[in-house]
Chain A
């Protein structure tokens, strides 16, 4: 047996040393990211998909932070598609921008790195190749802009991810398999909620397919859709100016719903564990859900808030406790299936609910607190379920820390300053001030009180290191602090 010559030994030692000395970041190669996802991955925000937010989608922020040279997205020029919401007053009232944005990167001769498609569920990610094959709604509207199979002829989002020959994979599907039930206010397993068997089969297929091409990746769990501002902002009680309206006995007055009413009454008080979604904002000003004894001048007083969609443009606004329990249970089942598939594939499971819980508690950033409060928290956009660029930056930074912890990487953290102070790298959600609506008199007073919720007060106070108060001033003295809400109801 020959012994290595001295130069050979030197070379061997150098190679060994170099291998040992590889930077930790090399443990994750983000040269060709494939991110298969939904609207959150796409950078959808405030009801629209537009360039000024897409450039700050979570995968775009990660790629930029990691110095990835070639990261491609299906950019839609401003003002984007979907009519971006603009806050026009603190009432609050919203306007909408034009939705005539045009694709800016349509001719890219390869799949995009960001294959996120708003509205798509796991089945769409596995099988859909065109709008005709996709779930109705946003997925059907956006899938052809992303997949471009009329030119590429590659197939589904999962197939396009494989075709990228990725160096790292993200599979992000955080809720579209049951979010529709919440948005429409109609909870029906198999219709607005994906059955667990189908979900399990599809997540297994997705991860099995992806891991054969790239064994390193992250799969997201689904979010608890009953714990987002869309479902947590409004209380099940009457409010005015951000405060509970109390009856003469000092008790809060429940809103009215259609279920469980005795004697065939069309409306009765909803139980306190009922979720009132932001859809109620369209009904409350007319008196739906409000007893005539409180607001007799409202034309629809004593009518119930709808507990299911009336038609395509009139969604339900209530989710009763049984449906809430079902949705929570289904979320747990989805995540169990995802975790099992992740274990089988070797992909790391990212618990998005853990992120949301921390977001609810608030991220303290150099004296600034960002949390999940609607309008004033900074993380959730006007639609109540998509993040803002600040929220996306926090998510991207959390993912980077997750990769560093789970893949032995040393990726740099996200620089949050520009998101905090500039709304994003390209302006973010700022709408035109020309759309702002002046408020006067009582409306103004009520709006000011409404926006200055106990949570907002606590947020300001936290800047001064004050804890949130346990009691707040109600109409009849101090009352227990409640969740934030922003709708006045007496004078719509």
Chain B
């Protein structure tokens, strides 16, 4: 028995951890991630009032109060494919006719949950997921026209939580727990200058900024699930906002221009080959999820959700580099709404689901850049779950159309049109005991 539990636990956790170890790419507006379980993803992320799956740890911690089994384990991940991730420039810079693409590398995010029944009405849930992530790597980064703004940026964040879910009555449950987040950041870009000998703008150095250590920040998450009648359910969940303090260093590498005098002048002014320590704080927003689910028939359910994300906290980034005055980078993001809808058909052998999502971007035109070119998104999703004994194998896929975004007022005067289409196939394995 224990060996069996151990093996199944290892299976589901391993699936999640492997996925979580990869860099995430933002697939909910801003740099938030919402793909925390195949079943929820199949329903377009409209899951706060359903929450009948261990991924309720993210979607609504109260949902686990209604878990029937002694122990339920779940683990999986989502792969992010971007068949289209392109940029077409506009004049004055980088100019009409300029075209660039993001690298087509695979990205993955992972999740793993376990729900243990402490009593009929009290459940303990532990798990991890990736609430935020960002990966924007540009192809041909040494010649990419935006290389002086960003060649590649990666933000990874892993959340871990232990939650208690309590069934107050047959129709009301609550759940809550601390949420511990681990974050790291990497970004790289080139530095350029006018070569006095040629009066041309040339690359003189490359800088990589890497956070060191893994800063830990603690917030909390909570949820409420209400079933006022047999067919109707209301849910609301909340994840708190966190300011994560990051420390690290900027490493400078020299790019020879071919002119020894100029190269020496540059080397005299930049800490080539050294790491300059620095710190910054990244603000991660709070997220409120609320929604309503209705069973049209005993087998067919419909859920409609709304999400409210307080992206306004991401108003600026202050860089504190050793030996230099603080620098403030303005973002001026806005709070956003997301609308999600899902339909779920449950049969004897499993379930099938479909969903829709419209996700509003928090990013103003001025901030849209190679660092993070965000836009509104419309998505459609499908998925299915098949039960096999104590296991349930879930698959899903989200098709996400980033609305074409043409920017002419970027604060760095890097303007043009961004186009992205992403496909996010996912798999989750659930095991019950």
* Residue pair B269, A423 in contact (C-beta under 8 Å): no
* Residue pair B269, A429 in contact (C-beta under 8 Å): no
Q: How far is the CB of A72 from chain B (nearest CB, A)?
A: 24
**With A and B bound together, what is the CA distance between A20 and B197 in angstroms?**
51
Chain A residue at minimal CB-CB distance from B327: A465
* Residue pair A447, B145 in contact (C-beta under 8 Å): no
* Residue pair A451, B196 in contact (C-beta under 8 Å): yes
* Residue pair A90, B261 in contact (C-beta under 8 Å): yes
With a CB–CB cut-off of 8 A, which chain A residues contact B168?
none
**With A and B bound together, what is the CA distance between A368 and B413 in angstroms?**
10
State whether the Cβ of A416 lies closer than 8 Å to any Cβ in chain B: yes
State whether the Cβ of A71 lies closer than 8 Å to any Cβ in chain B: no
Q: How far is the CB of A195 from chain B (nearest CB, A)?
A: 37
Q: How far is the CB of A373 from chain B (nearest CB, A)?
A: 9
Q: Flag A277-316 by CB within 8 Å of B: 1 or 0 each.
A: 0000000000000000000000000000000000000000
**With A and B bound together, what is the CA distance between A90 and B261 in angstroms?**
7
Interface centre among B91, B207, B259 (most CB of A within 10 A): B91
* Residue pair B95, A415 in contact (C-beta under 8 Å): yes
Q: How far is the CB of B148 from chain A (nearest CB, A)?
A: 3
With a CB–CB cut-off of 8 A, which chain B residues contact A389?
199
Q: How far is the CB of A90 from chain B (nearest CB, A)?
A: 5
Q: Known interface pairs A414-B92, A422-B200, A467-B327. Does A456 touch B261 (Cβ–Cβ under 8 Å)?
A: no
* Residue pair B270, A460 in contact (C-beta under 8 Å): yes
**With A and B bound together, what is the CA distance between A409 and B207 in angstroms?**
42
Binds A, one of B22-30, B103-111, B318-326: B318-326
State whether the Cβ of B94 lies closer than 8 Å to any Cβ in chain A: yes
Partner of A444, one of B149, B261, B325, B414: B261
With a CB–CB cut-off of 8 A, which chain B residues contact A467?
324-325, 327
State whether the Cβ of B198 lies closer than 8 Å to any Cβ in chain A: yes
With a CB–CB cut-off of 8 A, which chain A residues contact B201?
368, 370, 378, 390, 420-421
Q: How far is the CB of A427 from chain B (nearest CB, A)?
A: 9
Q: How far is the CB of B28 from chain A (nearest CB, A)?
A: 27
State whether the Cβ of B421 lies closer than 8 Å to any Cβ in chain A: no
Partner of B199, one of A381, A412, A470: A381
Q: How far is the CB of B41 from chain A (nearest CB, A)?
A: 36
With a CB–CB cut-off of 8 A, which chain A residues contact B191?
460, 463-464
**With A and B bound together, what is the CA distance between A252 and B96 in angstroms?**
50
State whether the Cβ of B73 lies closer than 8 Å to any Cβ in chain A: no
Q: Known interface pairs A367-B192, A464-B207, A466-B327. Does A451 touch B265 (Cβ–Cβ under 8 Å)?
A: yes
With a CB–CB cut-off of 8 A, which chain B residues contact A412?
91, 96
* Residue pair A459, B193 in contact (C-beta under 8 Å): yes
State whether the Cβ of A404 lies closer than 8 Å to any Cβ in chain B: no
**With A and B bound together, what is the CA distance between A366 and B92 in angstroms?**
10
Tell me the A314-349 residues at the B interface (CB within 8 Å): none
With a CB–CB cut-off of 8 A, which chain B residues contact A469?
324-325
* Residue pair B91, A416 in contact (C-beta under 8 Å): yes
Q: How far is the CB of A491 from chain B (nearest CB, A)?
A: 17
With a CB–CB cut-off of 8 A, which chain B residues contact A420?
93, 200-201
With a CB–CB cut-off of 8 A, which chain A residues contact B196?
87, 90, 92, 375-376, 451
State whether the Cβ of B189 lies closer than 8 Å to any Cβ in chain A: yes
**With A and B bound together, what is the CA distance between A390 and B270 in angstroms?**
25
* Residue pair A463, B148 in contact (C-beta under 8 Å): yes
**With A and B bound together, what is the CA distance between A425 and B191 in angstroms?**
23
State whether the Cβ of B237 lies closer than 8 Å to any Cβ in chain A: no
* Residue pair A430, B198 in contact (C-beta under 8 Å): yes
* Residue pair B192, A465 in contact (C-beta under 8 Å): no
* Residue pair A366, B198 in contact (C-beta under 8 Å): no
* Residue pair B264, A448 in contact (C-beta under 8 Å): yes
State whether the Cβ of B146 lies closer than 8 Å to any Cβ in chain A: yes
State whether the Cβ of B433 lies closer than 8 Å to any Cβ in chain A: no
Interface centre among A65, A447, A459, A463 (most CB of B within 10 A): A463
State whether the Cβ of B57 lies closer than 8 Å to any Cβ in chain A: no
* Residue pair A428, B199 in contact (C-beta under 8 Å): yes
Tell me the A398-424 residues at the B interface (CB within 8 Å): 412-418, 420-423
State whether the Cβ of A354 lies closer than 8 Å to any Cβ in chain B: no
Q: Flag A460-491 by CB within 8 Å of B: 1 or 0 each.
A: 11011111011000000000000000000000
With a CB–CB cut-off of 8 A, which chain A residues contact B391?
none
Q: Known interface pairs A415-B96, A416-B93, A456-B193. Does A90 touch B145 (Cβ–Cβ under 8 Å)?
A: no
Interface centre among B193, B200, B204, B259 (most CB of A within 10 A): B200
State whether the Cβ of B10 lies closer than 8 Å to any Cβ in chain A: no
**With A and B bound together, what is the CA distance between A431 and B329 in angstroms?**
38
* Residue pair A376, B91 in contact (C-beta under 8 Å): no
* Residue pair B92, A429 in contact (C-beta under 8 Å): no
State whether the Cβ of A452 lies closer than 8 Å to any Cβ in chain B: yes
With a CB–CB cut-off of 8 A, which chain B residues contact A428?
198-200
Question: Interface size of A by Cβ–Cβ distance < 8 Å?
Answer: 57
**With A and B bound together, what is the CA distance between A92 and B199 in angstroms?**
14
Q: How far is the CB of B168 from chain A (nearest CB, A)?
A: 51
* Residue pair B92, A365 in contact (C-beta under 8 Å): yes
State whether the Cβ of B393 lies closer than 8 Å to any Cβ in chain A: no
Tell me the A118-167 residues at the B interface (CB within 8 Å): none
Chain B residue at minimal CB-CB distance from A381: B199
With a CB–CB cut-off of 8 A, which chain A residues contact B95?
415-418
Partner of A390, one of B148, B149, B199, B264: B199
Q: Flag B138-152 by CB within 8 Å of A: 1 or 0 each.
A: 000000011111000
Interface centre among A366, A397, A465 (most CB of B within 10 A): A366
State whether the Cβ of A192 lies closer than 8 Å to any Cβ in chain B: no
Q: How far is the CB of B85 from chain A (nearest CB, A)?
A: 19
Q: Known interface pairs A448-B261, A469-B324. Does A413 touch B92 (Cβ–Cβ under 8 Å)?
A: yes
* Residue pair B194, A414 in contact (C-beta under 8 Å): no
Q: Flag A354-385 by CB within 8 Å of B: 1 or 0 each.
A: 00000000011111101000011110010000
* Residue pair A89, B412 in contact (C-beta under 8 Å): no
Chain B residue at minimal CB-CB distance from A439: B261
Partner of A417, one of B145, B411, B412: B145
Q: How far is the CB of B146 from chain A (nearest CB, A)?
A: 6
With a CB–CB cut-off of 8 A, which chain B residues contact A375?
194, 196
**With A and B bound together, what is the CA distance between A366 and B93 in angstroms?**
7
With a CB–CB cut-off of 8 A, which chain B residues contact A365?
92-93, 412-414
Chain A residue at minimal CB-CB distance from B143: A421
Q: Known interface pairs A420-B201, A460-B193. Does A90 touch B262 (Cβ–Cβ under 8 Å)?
A: yes
Q: How far is the CB of B357 from chain A (nearest CB, A)?
A: 33
Q: How far is the CB of A61 from chain B (nearest CB, A)?
A: 11
Interface centre among B191, B194, B250, B324 (most CB of A within 10 A): B194
State whether the Cβ of A388 lies closer than 8 Å to any Cβ in chain B: yes
Interface centre among A367, A422, A460, A469 (most CB of B within 10 A): A367
**With A and B bound together, what is the CA distance between A328 and B297 in angstroms?**
85
Chain B residue at minimal CB-CB distance from A398: B92
* Residue pair B194, A367 in contact (C-beta under 8 Å): no
**With A and B bound together, what is the CA distance between A388 and B198 in angstroms?**
11
State whether the Cβ of A188 lies closer than 8 Å to any Cβ in chain B: no
Partner of A376, one of B147, B193, B250: B193
State whether the Cβ of A227 lies closer than 8 Å to any Cβ in chain B: no
State whether the Cβ of A449 lies closer than 8 Å to any Cβ in chain B: yes
**With A and B bound together, what is the CA distance between A439 and B414 in angstroms?**
38
Chain A residue at minimal CB-CB distance from B198: A430
With a CB–CB cut-off of 8 A, which chain B residues contact A89?
261
* Residue pair B198, A429 in contact (C-beta under 8 Å): yes
Chain A residue at minimal CB-CB distance from B270: A460
Q: Flag B231-274 by CB within 8 Å of A: 1 or 0 each.
A: 00000000000000000001000000001011011101110000
Partner of A429, one of B189, B199, B412: B199
With a CB–CB cut-off of 8 A, which chain A residues contact B148?
366-368, 463
21 contacts between A and B (CB under 8 A): A365-B92, A366-B94, A366-B145, A366-B149, A367-B148, A367-B189, A376-B194, A389-B199, A415-B93, A416-B93, A421-B202, A444-B261, A452-B265, A452-B268, A463-B191, A463-B193, A464-B207, A464-B250, A465-B329, A466-B325, A467-B324
Q: Which 6 pairs from chain A and chain B are nearest by CB?
A: A367-B148, A415-B95, A378-B194, A366-B414, A413-B91, A463-B191
Extra contacts, 8 of them, besides A368-B201, A417-B95, A451-B265 (Cβ < 8 A), are A365-B413, A366-B94, A376-B196, A388-B199, A415-B93, A417-B94, A420-B200, A449-B268
